[in-house]
Amino acid sequence: MKDVISVIVPVYNVAAYLPECLDSILSQDYDKLEVILIDDGSTDDSGAICDAYARRDGRIRVIHQKNGGAAAAKNAGLRAATGEYLSFADSDDFLEPGAYAYMLALLKENDADIVRCAFQNRFRTRTEQWLAGEDRCVMEGKAFLVRFTTDWTCGLLWNKLYKRALFDGIFFEEGHKIDDEYFTYQGVILTPVVGWTTHHAIVEYKGKWYLFHHDCVPSNGKTWLRSLKVCELEYDANGRIITIEGQ
């Protein structure tokens, strides 16, 4: 659907956080949203909360499925998504006001395929800022892909807005505890332009992340798709990739 952002939210036993997450999405001033909630076999009240919100707002679609893990939940969301644009939100995160409108404006302004956001880690006793100190920029997707080897934030899934077409026929590889990198780089390979900014977008609790804006996208992606195959990604204590095996 033209101009619609499909927001995929995998849900599993997050009843304490889910209402704040959903309220922050539904209150965005950009209202052309398709919010897809995948209840991945929750054993708390998360599934009931999803259904209650769907009754209140017609933009929400709920999928209840047997527990299969985060990748399986996100794949179900991808199969259901019909929007022109794509975003992911962890169900214990929340968005800053105006996040989607801001990211979409940047994407269109720079004729980009991906917009990347800066973010914060919010802990109980401290807050960590990531990417907010960098300058706004636009780069080719190939250059952004190279950064994957030294900058762990490039592979993050949830701090980006994408053109949905980048991931046509691409799904998460199920069975991994961390699946972002196995998915995100495949879209980046096909991306001519990426951009970024330092505007708040999303907040994560429990020692996770606060999202801001940053944006970037690759060119000549099809050539890279033929020449690069990421088999394994490992990170050191600072979150940097220390192993990439490819061909």
Q: What is the pLDDT of residues 134-191, one digit of tens each?
A: 556 677 777 777 877 787 777 788 888 999 998 999 999 887 766 676 788 787 777 6
Q: pLDDT of 7-19, one tens digit each?
A: 999 999 999 999 9
Do 117 and 202 meet the contact criterion of CB atoms below 8 Å apart? yes
Q: What letters, b where the CB count within 10 A reaches 16 and e where it falls short, cover 135-174?
A: eebbbbbbebbebbeeebbbbbbbbbbbbbebbeeebbee
**What angle do the packed helices 18-26 and 46-56 form, to 10 degrees?**
20
Residue 1 is encoded by which pair of tokens?
């659907």
To the question of pTM greater than 0.95 for the whole model, the response is no
* 122 SS3 class: strand
Note down pLDDT in tens along the chain; length 247 residues.
Answer: 999 999 999 999 999 999 999 999 999 999 999 999 999 999 999 999 999 999 999 999 999 999 999 999 999 999 999 999 999 999 988 888 888 998 898 889 888 888 887 777 667 677 666 565 555 667 777 777 787 778 777 778 888 899 999 899 999 988 776 667 678 878 777 766 665 444 444 444 333 333 332 233 333 333 322 223 333 334 344 444 333 333 3
